[in-house]
Amino acid sequence: MSVPTAAPRKPDALERDALAVLHPTFHGTDTPPAWLLRLLESGGMTGVGLFGRNVVSDEQVTGLTARLHAANPEVLIAIDEEGGDVTRLEVRTGSSVPGSLALGAVDDPDLTRAVAADIGRRLVARGVTLNWAPSADVNSNPDNPVIGSRSFGADPELVARHTVAYVEGLQSAGVAACVKHFPGHGDTDVDSHLAMPRIGVDRDTLTARELLPFRAAIAAGTRSVMSAHILVPALDPELPGTLSPAVLTDLLRAPVAEGGLGFDGVVVTDGMEMDAIAARWGVERGNVLAIAAGADAICVGGTPSDEAEVLRMRDALVAAVRSGELPEERLHDAAERVRALGRWTAARRAEALAEGDPAGGTGGTGADGGIGMTAARRAVRVSAPAGAPPFAPLTAPAHVLVLTPAANVAVGSETPWGLGPALARLLPGTTTDRRGRPADGTARGTAEEVLREAGDRRLVVVVRDVHRHAWMGETLAALVAARPDTAVVEMGVPQAPPTGALHIATHGAARVCAEAAAEVLTGSVPAAGGS
């Protein structure tokens, strides 16, 4: 005789609050895991994150999120869809809108607002309700390995006005913005996915530079802010922002009259599995410290969670409350903030779907290209270094060399970038050679090999943040010396002096940025910018 299986125990109020603040990610593209649907439906969980591993097509994502909404109509479904280099919806093709650096280069807040609204409409149509964007980081350190073209630029006022425009555009479409990475990740030379960055400037510099865009975004009504795993001794000499009450409560939450930023929305952590946190505190312990410090939603983004991990994190929060380490009121307040955001996004999504185009935004490619292509064209800047030979537009198949640095974790290695496919569409027969850092770290022999492969075809060299990679600069210099008619396309931060017969700065590596550069190289469309 079989023994009846006991029904799962219904979680109590404390456990529901603990689950409410946990926003894990998962494996799968068609059906979310049964445990996740169960916790969303009856366990108190309020949110989940999507990454490129969950994306196959627009239709597939729409079906996937429909299952999550069915389990919990007020679920927060979050994604990293910054546009430009960081895209999840277009992870296999490259983004149809340029990223923040391109928009900052144009410096037209109305354009930024329109691009963000386009992203928002596409997210709403796919069932996404929270976008972990935009980056409000001021890219004051050109050697920054993780922000770079994800920032609107190095000028705090410029970053502030475009952060505001992005927030307004995104939220006008019914998607909550999440301004990141507080208190500012721009002046770092370490990637917090890999280690603990440190910003050693004084409080006055932080106020005038790092905090300015966040103040502006909060005043503009951003619904959430993401914390950074960075150590800022001027604010807290021991704990990184995500774990620091001085950063999240005494600065971000404190009233403006008391020197704070007065933020009353949801504070989301950056991925708690990142080494800046996990390597020292571990995910469960870091999760408790973050909520105690003032965070409301715990993101575990880079690696998919399973039920066991989520329950360990829940139990760590419950144990901290029962031991007196974490005030129950703090956990409940965090859970209530997250639930309120879920109600807001559910209402705004319903309104947007009732009013808008069910297909979502227009993106951009092809002859007219939509808002994305318009923005990419306007962001292109073309220069001819002094003494360079006149550049004749390409009219025959060319040879494209793409010098490829290692991708940072935020951008990922799945998303294609470069110029070859875009140029080959205009000049069939164009070939592409991709090369990474040579094993010996030098350019020895690379230039000769490339020149042999190019033969008598015109040479186009594509670089990305050439100022940060000595091997890349050496290879480029050798090729330009041998072939002065070489065209150079910089698809990262254009920090190095222009070189080549023609130098094109796209301010990002989105697919539309490549298409805009290909148009300039072939004379199909005149460049929008110039220097």
Which residue stretches of 409-469 are H helix?
Answer: 420-426, 446-454
How many contiguous H segments (helices) and E segments (strands) does the chain have? 18, 14
Distances (CA, A) of 170 to 130, 164, 342, 345, 375: 10, 10, 16, 12, 16
Rounded Cα distance between 140 and 308, Å, is: 41
Q: Is 457 exposed, middle or buried (0-12, 13-18, 19+ CB in 10 A)?
A: middle
As a whole number of angstroms, the distance between CA 389 and CA 342 comes to: 59
Nearest Cα neighbor of 44 from 84, 78, 80, 11 is 11
Q: Give the whole-angstrom CA distance, residue 427 versus residue 423.
A: 6
Is the bond preceding 183 in cis, omega lying within 30 degrees of 0? yes
Active-site position among 23, 162, 193, 507: 193
Residue type, 260: G
Phi-psi region of 200 (alpha: psi -120 to 50; beta: other; left: phi over 0): alpha
The H-or-E segment that residue 111 falls in is helix 109-126
Q: Given the DSSP bridges, would you call strands 298-300 and 459-463 parallel, antiparallel or unpaired?
A: unpaired
Q: Compute the half-sphere exposure of residue 162: CA atoms within 13 Å on the CB side of its CA.
A: 30
**Residue 379 belongs to what H/E stretch?**
helix 370-379
Nearest to 78 by CA among 163, 184, 220, 177: 177
> What does the alpha-carbon distance between residue 52 and residue 103 come to, in Å, rounded to a whole number?
24
Runs of H (alpha helix) within 402-499: 420-426, 446-454, 470-482
Q: Return the exposure string of 251-280: e unless at least 16 CB atoms fall within 10 Å of the residue's CB, then b.
A: bbbbeeeeeebebebbbbbbbbbbbbbbee
Other C-beta atoms lying within 10 Å of the C-beta of residue 353: 14
Contacts for 76 with CB less than 8 Å, ≥ 6 apart: 23, 46, 47, 48, 129, 130, 176, 297, 338, 341, 342, 345
Closest CA to 407 of 188, 261, 194, 100: 194
Residue tagged active-site, from 270, 296, 332, 465: 270
- Residue count of the chain, please give it: 531
State yes or no: is 23 an active-site residue.
no
Q: Is 193 noted as a catalytic residue in this protein?
A: yes
Determine how β-strand 47-50 pairs with β-strand 381-383: unpaired
22-24 and 176-182 strand pairing:
unpaired
Catalytic machinery residues: 193, 270
